[in-house]
Amino acid sequence: MRIDRTHLPWLAATIVAIFVLTAAYLLCAESLGWRSGGTPVGLALGVLALGLMVFAALLGLRKRFPIWRIGRTTTWMRAHLWLGFLALPVALLHAAFHARGPLTIALMALTVLVVVSGLIGAWLQHTLPVKMMREVQFETIYDQIERIRGNLLREADETAGKLEDTLAPGPGIGSTVTLTMLTLPELQPEIAEFHSFYREEVREFIGVERPRVKLSDRVWSEKEFARLRRLLPPEAAPIVVSVEEICEEKRQLDRQVLLHRALHGWLLCHIPLSAALILLVCIHAVGALRY
Amino acid sequence: MSNHELTLTIDGISVTVPHGTTIFDAARLNGISIPTLCHQQNQAPVAVCRICVVDCGERAYQAACIRECEPDMKVQTASEPVLAARQTLYELMLADHPAPCKRQQNSGDCELETQAVAAGVHDVRFRKRAVPVLGADDSSPSIFVDYGACILCDRCIRGCSEIRHNFVIARQGKGYQTAIAFDANQPMGNSSCVSCGECMVSCPTGALTNKRVLAQNLGETANAFSVDTEELLALPVFRGVSGTFLELNAGAVVKRYYKAGETIVREGDNGSTAFYILEGDAEVFIQTPRAHVTTAPDKQDRGLFAVMSSFLQPKAQHKREEENRPPEYIRIDAPVDLPYANPIAALGAGDLFGEMTCMSFYPRSATVRAKTDCVMLEMLRNVLDVMQKNKTFRAQLEANYRSRALVTHLRSVPIFHSLSEEFIHDLRDRVTLLRFAPGQVICAEEDVADALYLVRIGFVKVSQMRREEELVLAYLPRGAYFGEMGLLGEGRRTATCSALDHVELVRIGADDFRAMLNQFPDVRFQLEQVARQRSAENAQMQGRRESNNNPLDQYLAQGLMDAQSLLVLDLEKCTRCDQCVRACADAHDGVTRLLRDGLRFDHYLVATSCRQCRDPLCMVGCPVGSIRRRNSLEVIIEDWCVGCGLCASNCPYGNITIHSFPPTADRPKPVHKATSCDLCHELEEPSCVYACPHDAAHRVKPDEFFAHLLGQAPDAH
């Protein structure tokens, strides 16, 4: 989610909440001997932290049922971001900035990790959409990329296969067949070089998702295609340009894959950590209240 | 030799013929052939082609077809100078003729080209025509006109006037611009031509050729039998139709026998024929279940979450609060409308159905099944066109329509609902039934308003000209009406209405209209309300069109100017999470109506989802009128959609999809329905927008939303 001016009220509310809670904690902390968790204030902070964490986790459920009319999802998302972030200082105040025992240490570490991963996620979602919009002009539906890659390969094969026909002299009056490269001995080395480049570089590049070939580098690609354009007669330029454009589209698809994974990949860390945190928090709450 | 006869010499042969005989006839009677192009035995000679020139020993060569024989005349028909003159004439004509012409290509019997070759003309010394001739005229369903191939021999004109007495064809223009013309220079399809085929038979070149509509022959099958021309002409409905035409189009009409219960046509199927019931009764109905695709999930699969979902999501679906009255009739391609509550009606002997399918190739609008054993004539477009122009047939159809369907038709129009039976019956005999060919103007802007029209068949385009640009205001389908604004207002037409396809209208004259208003104040009130609403919509549309005069080519090229509501995704905010697509699918029974793909405008993606176009091409051709505009200009697909897919193929943006309903126990075959974004109209906000977690999805009015980009307002976004 893009963090823009519309988030200002949420930012202000979060800062105020942190100040108020910290002030309340400081007022009570000294009289309670700087202990926190078991005291009424500490318990209240703990319950609040738990509530904030559970609420943040509910976003997943909210998104699971997108048409439920229980508040716009964008509001839920904002609340998730800012209240989820607020959970960390509240948890720290609840623990009085101490972690005693393996469970609380794990809890504290998980809370920090979840919030940090969330912050990274927020940063990625703030920056990457703009990057994707600017860098991937040929953006398509992510699930269709595989199919489009296949189409591009087919298109490239067809385009490259037309080189000989394009270079062959036009059919004369009354001729019924197109002459082939057999009649172009003088251009055979250049044609062979084009096909060799196509086979070894272009096909390798288009056929595989994010391959480690030199064509992935746009600068190198431009240089090579410029060389091919110089090498072949001007009539072949449209063919070379077409293949170059197909390579550019494929490069953009690779970029889209990369950015898409970055946009959503962090969730693979954030969601399991959040689930573990909720579980441990529940265990901690039950254990603390019972014992 | 009697006093009535004379003797002359033709090519050295002594010939005796009656006085008044032309040289051409005298030569022919004595086995001497003189080539000609403009002359036919059954037509009066006009001597315009001059190919039949002969040397009579006079100062100039004479046209044999018109020059009468004289006693002791010596005629040379094939002397070298005569042959040379003829060759020159062929060359001159060929210079104006696209050799090989259509007829020569098809059957190799273009008289001009074959005669020219026979006369030894292989190369033409003269330049081809520099002044462009008229283009081809493809407007007639049965005859193709190629003005370029016409040699102005007038055989068609004489065939039409002297033989058939139709008087449709004449010459128009002067000098080098002369051409044949139909009526007052109308396209042939719009003229009063009855497609008798006489002109086509008379034409010596490829200027008038038989289209052999659809290149189809209905052929004989188990239940279809070809019908002889004599048998057809014996039927009252074919009385007056040209036998020549029927012979030329043998196979374009067949007689079919159906057993009771047999399905004749099925809704949604494509076809190209119309049916005329000769004997028996049939029933016409809509088989497809009347339901939107947003049907509730199957109750058996309802889990806890589904129950919660039902509870949480208000299901006020299908409530059309803006509609004063629920639909009462579904309009179909038959002389009857189907009641919405029980969509079934009867057809009997003398009824014609499938006209829209036949004339305009719309999919079948309803299923027709034989109720008793039936005999029907199935015909192609060219035959139906001729029959429609046949006065006997028209009179019968109109009588049927007036007696059976007109009342229902009037009743089906909501504003006429309160008319009394007596008035409707009175009106029934006074209305006029009119036909219009595609493109024909029904009434033009600023014309005197003299009638109200109800659309009986086809689609009418309503448009206004502004700054030399046509602004389409609406497409009116069967059942709609127009002309009330001019009658209620200043007495002038406010827009031009033209036929989009083959249109049939019911015309209610101004006097009857006024009588109706005086007698029924309720009708006046409703009509005035509709007129005000249409006027406001037109002004709004016009205002938008004018305010949208922006410099951004991209905006125009993407057709955004024409959209009323766009689903745009802010690409700077969108994380491509597809929540919008998921929400759309959830809101519509698992079938999404939007694709997160499309063209970009600035940093917005214009998603593939209905744009609610101002010029909704999707509506054109819907055989059952199920895709239509709400009063709010919103495009909706009604639940009686038969899934023919025409709207989907008409939508230029690919925003309509066809959804398949799986077979059930009652319905062995899957049925289809068109779906497009309905803006979740039963909910406050479209689900896709509501569900977007990143505030990226918006439903916007493009001219307002993009105003800052178009330099029309300060940045508001």
Residue B74 has pLDDT above 60, yes or no: yes
Residue B340 has pLDDT above 60, yes or no: yes
B669 vs B314, residue with greater confidence: B669
Asked whether residue A244 is domain-assigned, the answer is: yes
User: In this predicted structure, what is the pLDDT of residue B518?
Assistant: 82
Rounded CA-CA distance B489/B116 in Å is: 64
Average pLDDT over residues B343-357: 84
pLDDT value at position B99? 83
The residues on A that touch B, with CB distances below 8 Å, are: 1-2, 6, 59, 63, 65-70, 72-74, 76-77, 125, 128-130, 132-133, 137, 140-142, 260, 263-264
CB pairs under 8 A between A and B: 86
Q: A14 and A106, same structural domain?
A: yes
- Chain B residues touching residue A129 (CB < 8 angstroms): 571-576
Q: Are residues B23 and B44 in contact, defined by beta-carbon separation less than 8 angstroms?
A: no
B220 to B217, B253, B256, B435, B544: CA distances (angstroms): 9, 10, 9, 32, 57
Q: How does residue B468 score in pLDDT terms, banded at 50, 70 and 90?
A: low
Residue A153 has pLDDT above 60, yes or no: yes
Please report which confidence band the pLDDT of residue A275 belongs to, taking 50, 70 and 90 as the band edges: very high
| Confidence at residue B436, expressed as pLDDT on a 0 to 100 scale | 84
What does the alpha-carbon distance between residue B523 and residue A254 come to, in Å, rounded to a whole number? 65
Please say if the pLDDT value at position B308 is more than 70. no
Q: Can you give the pLDDT at residue A114?
A: 94
Q: What is the pLDDT, as a whole number, of residue B285? A: 86
Mean pLDDT over residues B271-290, rounded? 83
- DSSP assignment of A102-129 equals HHHHHHHHHHHHHHHHHHHHHHHHHHHH
Phi, psi of B214 (to 5 degrees): 65, 5
Higher pLDDT, residue B95 or B471? B95
A270 and A155 share one domain: no
What is the rounded average pLDDT for all residues in chain B? 80
For B181-210, what is the mean pLDDT? 84
Are A129 and B313 inside 8 Å of each other by CB? no
Identify the band that residue A19 occupies on the pLDDT scale cut at 50, 70 and 90: very high
**For residue B190, what pLDDT band results from cuts at 50, 70 and 90?**
confident
Pairing of strands B53-54, B671-675: unpaired
Greater confidence (A14 vs B565) lies with A14
The residue ranking higher by pLDDT, A275 or B303, is A275
Q: Identify the bridge partners of residue B210 per DSSP, sorted by sequence position.
A: B143
Q: What is the CA radius of gyration of chain A?
A: 30
The predicted pLDDT at position A247 comes to 93
Lowest mean pLDDT among B115-129, B176-190, B405-419: B405-419
Q: What is the average per-residue pLDDT within B40-69?
A: 90
Q: How far is CA A194 from the centre of its chain?
A: 36
- Average of per-residue pLDDT across A243-258: 92
What backbone torsions phi and psi does residue B426 show, to the nearest 5 degrees?
A: -65, -40
**Structure tokens that stand for A29 in this block:** 């902390």
Whole-number pLDDT of residue A156:
93
Q: How many CB atoms lie within 10 A of CB A264?
A: 17
Higher-pLDDT residue of B109 and A105 is A105
B502 vs chain A: nearest CA distance in angstroms? 42
Q: How far is the CA of A155 from the CAs of A136, A142, A158, B121, in angstroms? A: 20, 20, 5, 52
Whole-angstrom CA distances from A105 to A41, A98, A100, A110, B427 are: 21, 9, 6, 8, 91
Letter string b/e over residues A271-288, b meaning 16 or more CB atoms within 10 A of that residue's CB = eebbeebbebbeebeeee
The confidence score (pLDDT) of residue B326 equals 59
For the beta sheet containing B481-482, the strands, ordered from the edge strand earlier in sequence to the opposite edge, are B432-436, B503-509, B451-457, B481-482
CB atoms within 10 A of CB B317: 15
Q: What does the pLDDT read at residue A232?
A: 87
CA diameter of chain A:
107
Select from B519, B443, B427, B426 the least CA-distant residue to B484: B443
How far B260 CA sits from the closest chain A CA (Å)? 50
> Tell me, what's the pLDDT at B322?
46
Query: Residue A21 falls within a domain, yes or no?
Result: yes
For chain B, percent of residues with pLDDT exceeding 90: 16
Domain ranges, residue A232: 142-168+179-263
Q: Band the pLDDT of A112: cuts 50, 70, 90.
A: very high
- pLDDT value of residue A33: 66
Highest mean pLDDT pick, B288-302, B379-393, B514-528: B514-528
User: Among partner residues B314, B586, B603, which is closest to A69 by beta-carbon distance?
Assistant: B314
What count of residues does chain B have?
Answer: 717
Residues of B in contact with A141 (CB under 8 A): 595-597
Residues B579-594 as b or e (16 or more Cβ within 10 Å = b): bbbbbbbbbbeeebbb
Residues of B in contact with A263 (CB under 8 A): 575-576
Pair (A156, A91) in one structural domain: no
ipTM score here? 0.86
Average pLDDT, chain A: 86
Q: Is residue A66 situated within a structural domain? A: yes
Q: Which of A34-38, B251-255, B323-327 has the lowest mean pLDDT?
A: B323-327
**Proportion of chain B above pLDDT 70, given as a percent:** 85
pLDDT of residue B177: 79
Nearest CB to A74: which of B572, B576, B694? Answer: B694
Structure-block tokens of residue B221: 């099958």
- Same domain as A155, residue A36: no
Best mean pLDDT range from A73-82, B424-433, B528-537:
A73-82
Whether residue A273 sits in one domain with residue A192 = no
Query: Of the candidates A66, A132, A264, which has its C-beta nearest B691's C-beta?
Result: A66
Check whether A107 has a pLDDT greater than 60: yes
> In chain B, what are the domain boundaries?
5-118, 432-547, 553-705
In a domain, residue A282? The reply is yes
Is the pLDDT assigned to residue B316 strictly greater than 50?
no
For residue B410, pLDDT beyond 80: no
Mean pLDDT of A105-112: 92
Q: In this structure, are residues A91 and A268 in contact, taking their beta carbons and an 8 Å threshold?
A: no
Nearest to B670 by CA among B298, B287, B265: B287
Residue B601 pLDDT greater than 50, yes or no? yes
Q: Residue B2 above 50 pLDDT? A: yes
B contact set with A (CB within 8 A): 305, 308-309, 312-314, 571-577, 579, 582-583, 586-587, 595-597, 600, 603, 683-684, 687, 690-695
pLDDT at position B710 is 66
In this predicted structure, what is the pLDDT of residue B218? 65
Query: Which tens digits make up the pLDDT trace of A165-208?
Result: 777 655 444 434 444 444 555 677 888 888 999 998 899 898 88
Query: What is the arithmetic mean of pLDDT over B27-37?
Result: 90
Q: Are B352 and B383 in contact (CB under 8 A)?
A: no
Please determine, looking at this structure, whether the domain spanning B5-118 carries the CATH number 3.90.1640.20. Answer: no
pLDDT band at B220, cuts 50/70/90? Answer: low
- Which has more pLDDT, B717 or B395? B395
pTM value? 0.57
pLDDT computed for residue A273 by the predictor: 94
Q: Are residues A241 and A271 in the same domain?
A: no
Span B553-705 CATH architecture: 2-Layer Sandwich (3.30)
- Under the banding of pLDDT at 50, 70 and 90, the label for residue B323 is very low
Alpha-carbon distances of A90 from A16, A53, A75, A287, A288, rounded to whole Å: 13, 10, 22, 19, 17
Average pLDDT over residues A79-93: 92
Check if CATH label 2.40.50.460 holds for domain B432-547: no
Q: Which of B308, B572, B683 sits opposite A129 (nearest CB)?
A: B572
Nearest to A73 among B587, B683, B690 (CB): B690
Confirm whether A71 is domain-assigned.
yes
CB contact under 8 A, B576 and A260: yes
Say whether pLDDT at B716 is over 60.
no
Residue A11 buriedness (CB in 10 A; 0-12 / 13-18 / 19+): middle
Q: Contact A204/A213 with Cβ under 8 angstroms?
A: yes
Task: Return the higher-pLDDT residue of B86 and B414.
Answer: B86
pLDDT-derived band of residue B299, with 50, 70 and 90 as boundaries? Answer: very low
Q: Considering the domain boundaries, does residue A173 fall inside one?
A: no
User: Using the beta-carbon criterion (under 8 Å), do A67 and B583 form an inter-chain contact?
Assistant: yes
Q: Convert the pLDDT of each residue in B82-92 to its tens digit.
A: 999 999 999 99
Examine the pLDDT at B397 and tell me if it is beyond 90: no
Residue A133 has pLDDT above 50, yes or no: yes
- Structural domains counted in chain A: 2
Give the model's pLDDT for residue B36.
93
Q: Does residue A90 share a domain with residue A35?
A: yes
Residues A68, B312: C-beta atoms closer than 8 Å: yes
Q: Which residues are B454's β-sheet partners?
A: B481, B506
